[in-house]
Amino acid sequence: MVDSAFSHAGSAGPGDFRPMLDSLTSALKSQIAAATEATSGLRVDDPVIDVPRDLAHADLACPVAFDLAKRIKTATGEKRAPRDLATAIVGWLQEPGRLPAGIARLDVAGAGYVNVFLDRAAILAALVAGSPMTTTDGAEKVIVEHTSVNPNKAAHIGHLRNSVLGDSIVRILRAAGHRVEIQNYIDNTGVQVADVVVGFLHLEPHTLDEIKAIPDPFDYYCWDLYSRVGVWYRDGNAEGRENPEKLALRAEAQHAIESASGPIAEMAEYVAMRNLEALLRTMYRLGITYDVMPRESEVLQSNFWSDAFEMMKAAGSIHYEADGKHAGCWVMRAEEADASTDDDDFAADKILVKSNGLVTYAGKDIAYHLWKLNRIDRDFSYRRFHEYPDGHVVWITTPDPSAGETDHARFGHGDRYINVIDVGQSYVQDFVKKGVMSVANDPKVAASTHLDYEKVGLTVAACDDLGLPLADDERKRTFIGMSGRKGRGVKADDLLDMLEQNALAEVRSRVEKMNYPEDEQAAIAHTIAIGAVRYFLLKFSRNAVIAFDLKEALSFQGEAGPYIQYSAVRLNSIFAKLRDAGVDLDDPLGRLGRDRVTELLAAEENADFWPVVYLCAQLPETLARTAAGLEPSIIARYAFQAAQLTNEFYHRHQVRNETDADRQALMIAIIGLVQRTLVDALATLGIDVPERM
RNA sequence: GCGCCUGUAGCUCAGUUGGAUAGAGCAUCGGCCUUCUAAGCCGGUGGUCGCAGGUUCGAGUCCUGCCAGGCGCGCCA
């Protein structure tokens, strides 16, 4: 396998590919385990194998001898020097037939490291021959729910983090071979929609026709109205007390909306769906699409909730409170252990049905998740909501079965679900999962997760840049929370507009050199803007609070998406120039032959070739770690690292002007590999590489 | 009160199951564009890894305690 590029370059199909570094490492592990047993009588299973910080030490390092020495001492009391143990292990491994293919030699270093040097030419050849992305077609269906923005106003960058994170998880899972369905839950019956309706009814009275006549951006209009309603409830003082009479109007609207009939419900329906259309447009700018959008109204009206309710009653996991603080409610009781937190201020139990009969979000969510895993014996009716330019259709649930269309894929029926929801909702999500478990105690539920992530806040500097007013005590804080009620936040479309404008300016500044036409300029600027915002939101680990800094988010330099895109684009340029010069780009490794490649890689002047190749070899393992941790920042940082090596390589070596034909051929193989690695890694983040920029 | 998260360079953050000399970006100082795109490259400055114990051949990483900050615990979602 490892030398396929020399024997039949380029012929390896996706089917016969295995990530060679991973399989090499696991083969090596089991051989080292065997070596420990053979040389000491004690077996160390699954020994640690590291990539050393400094590749001059080795390609792989194994500190197993330290572990072994400890175990020997524990077992027999005998003190053995790790270095002697390592020497014995290396001696055993070097016997013929014991080393996995792809390893050149072993060494003992330091106090007892087993150092491994790879057959670098073989690794390079295998990489060039195969796609580093796994292509297995798994049968498991994963339902990823993300975005789920209240459809009552424009999305801000906090919502964007959710969507970009979720969308990247989708791409990563698909790259890892999973079938994925993307769901965007629409909370069209909640308080937030009701508040905008209250605004249209009482704060600035509009008829439905007048609302329909409001020009786009409608979601911006609602953004302002929503924040004004928040102040209006407090009689004009944002920090004041809510006026009960006005709150009654909200409750009235909510009830009307839940009843799903009458002019108020009709207005809410229009407001929610028009905001949803705006949301889909915003998300599509970032390349984010959905498969199906279940609406809360249908979860209620199509009796998903009542089914779940009965199931939980039968399971005894929900209780009616006849008296006490929660009199008249149906609650899920907290665990014994948690009940200790119950006091006057904090109730440990979770209310699923309020005393007025309305179902809380947690209750509806339980019903929704049971449906996702096919544990409720009914389905929604669906209609087409929107068709994307590539023909993909996003479906939405509809209350009217007769209006339903049936020519869609089978929705739901997941083997597990992943819900991208911010960490602030962990408490409720724990109850939701417990509720689902209580009636569907199976591995599908256990394997399902609430994928949590921290909030996006604003820096004081960002608020000043954006002209958002701050109170004096707020100026001392490290970040300022966004607030829809206060209308404080950076709208997603505004950020994208700024990014595209900045990117276009950059593109235009080099129009003389690059000579691209107008329409290409805009397309490039768009791709760069998306690269910038997506990378910015993904480079932080999920549990890091992002203090949104406008300057940093708008930066195209350093650890930023456009930097990575640029490094890949430079490789495009090299290939373009090479083609112009008539250089043979076909099968460079095959032309050189294995021995010549080994010789070239070992040469002093080519010392910085191998680290580039080696990093590329680590893509599958990086992708696996990313998928296992559902942590896109891992592969985001990997891509940046690859881009750094690319730019260094670009600067140090002139591929086009290289006079040694063999050396040039090797360089061509390497930059081809790096380019594909960059493109593949960025693809999992939803970032494209333009042809030029 | 209870629970979760965080504390690493001036700032923002990485740091795989404990492994060899703790990294990156930004900022700052100094170099590099008649040479495949300077959205770049090279170099300098910058660290008691919150504090104190403990485990270990080895701790930023594991354990205990403490300090500081953030979030959550609603008949909102």
CA of A389 to C1' of B66 (A): 59
Beta-carbon contacts of A73 under 8 Å, excluding residues fewer than 6 positions away, are A79, A80
Protein chain A, residues 411-440, with a C-beta closer than 7 Å to any atom of nucleic acid strand B: 423-428
Nucleic acid strand B within 7 Å of A655 CB: yes
Quote the pLDDT of residue A123. Answer: 94
Nearest by Cα to A561 from A669, A685, A691: A685
The interface predicted TM-score of the complex, written ipTM, equals 0.97
Q: Would you say the C-beta of A651 is within 7 Å of strand B?
A: yes
Where residue A9 falls among pLDDT bands split at 50, 70, 90?
very low
A203 has a pLDDT exceeding 60: yes
Q: Which of residues 158-197 of A touch strand B (CB under 7 A)?
A: 187, 190-192
**Which residue is nearest to the C1' sugar atom of B32, using CA?**
A651
A507 touches strand B (CB under 7 A): yes
- Percent of chain A beyond pLDDT 90? 78
Is A657's CB less than 7 Å from nucleic acid strand B? yes
Strand nucleotide closest to residue A671 (CA to C1'): B36
Closest CA to A611 of A134, A123, A18: A123
- pLDDT at A55 > cutoff 90: no
Q: What is the DSSP letter of A587?
A: -
Question: How does residue A17 score in pLDDT terms, banded at 50, 70 and 90?
Answer: very low
Q: How confident is the model at residue A10 (pLDDT cuts 50, 70, 90)?
A: very low
Does any strand B atom come closer than 7 Å to the Cβ of A634? yes
pLDDT in tens, A267-283: 999 999 999 999 999 99
Q: Say how far A52 CA is from B16 C1', in Å.
A: 12
pLDDT at A227 over 60: yes
Is the C-beta of residue A327 closer than 7 Å to nucleic acid chain B? yes
Helix (H, G, I), strand (E, B) or coil at A414: coil
- Which of the four pLDDT bands, split at 50, 70 and 90, describes residue A138? low
**Cβ neighbours of residue A292 closer than 8 Å, sequence gap 6 or more:** A181, A182, A183, A184, A382, A394, A395, A396, A397, A408, A411
Whether A573 has a pLDDT exceeding 70, the answer reads: yes
Through-space separation of residue A634 CA and nucleotide B18 C1' in angstroms: 20
Cross-strand bridge partners of residue A101: none
Which positions of strand B lie within 7 Å of protein CB atoms? 1-6, 12-17, 19-21, 23-26, 35-37, 39-42, 56-58, 69-77
In chain A, positions 600-629 with C-beta closer than 7 Å to nucleic chain B are: 625
User: Is the C-beta atom of A535 closer than 7 angstroms to strand B?
Assistant: no
A1 burial type by CB count under 10 A (0-12 exposed, 13-18 middle, 19+ buried): middle
Tell me the CA–C1' distance in angstroms for A593 and B37. Answer: 33
Tell me the mean pLDDT in the region A80-104: 94
Residue A618's alpha-carbon distances to A51, A615, A660, A685, A687, in angstroms, are 10, 5, 29, 17, 20
- pLDDT of A11 > 90? The answer is no
Task: Kindly tell me if the per-residue pLDDT of A308 is higher than 60.
Answer: yes
Q: Is A180 helix (H, G, I), strand (E, B) or coil?
A: strand
Integer distance in angstroms from CA A341 to C1' B3? 9
A569 touches strand B (CB under 7 A): yes
What pLDDT was estimated at residue A463? Answer: 86
pLDDT for residue A16: 32
The helix (run of H) or strand (run of E) holding residue A75 is: helix A64-76
A63 touches strand B (CB under 7 A): yes
Domain boundaries, chain A: 4-129, 458-552, 555-684
Window from A192-206, A466-480, A589-603, A641-655 with minimum mean pLDDT: A466-480
Q: What is the pLDDT of residue A470?
A: 81
Query: What is the reported pLDDT for A187?
Result: 95
Measure, in angstroms, how far nucleotide B73 C1' is from residue A624 CA: 35
pLDDT tens per residue across span A468-490: 888 777 777 777 888 878 888 99
**Domain A4-129 is in which class?**
alpha beta
Q: pLDDT digits over A74-84, tens only?
A: 888 888 999 99
Which two three-digit tokens encode residue A312? 């939980």
- Rounded, the Å distance between the CA of A175 and C1' of B24 is 27
Say how far A540 CA is from B50 C1', in Å. 22
Question: What average pLDDT does this structure show over A179-206?
Answer: 95
* Domain covering A555-684, topology: Isoleucyl-tRNA Synthetase; Domain 1 (1.10.730)
Is A566's CB less than 7 Å from nucleic acid strand B? yes
- CA of A476 and C1' of B51: distance in angstroms? 25
Residue A245 in contact with residue A251, Cβ under 8 Å? Answer: no
CA A452 to C1' B60, whole Å: 25
| Length A309 CA → B11 C1' (Å) | 52
Name the pLDDT band for A343 (thresholds 50, 70, 90).
low
The Å distance, CA of A51 to C1' of B15, is 13
Q: Is the pLDDT of residue A331 over 70?
A: yes
Query: CA of A25 and C1' of B26: distance in angstroms?
Result: 37
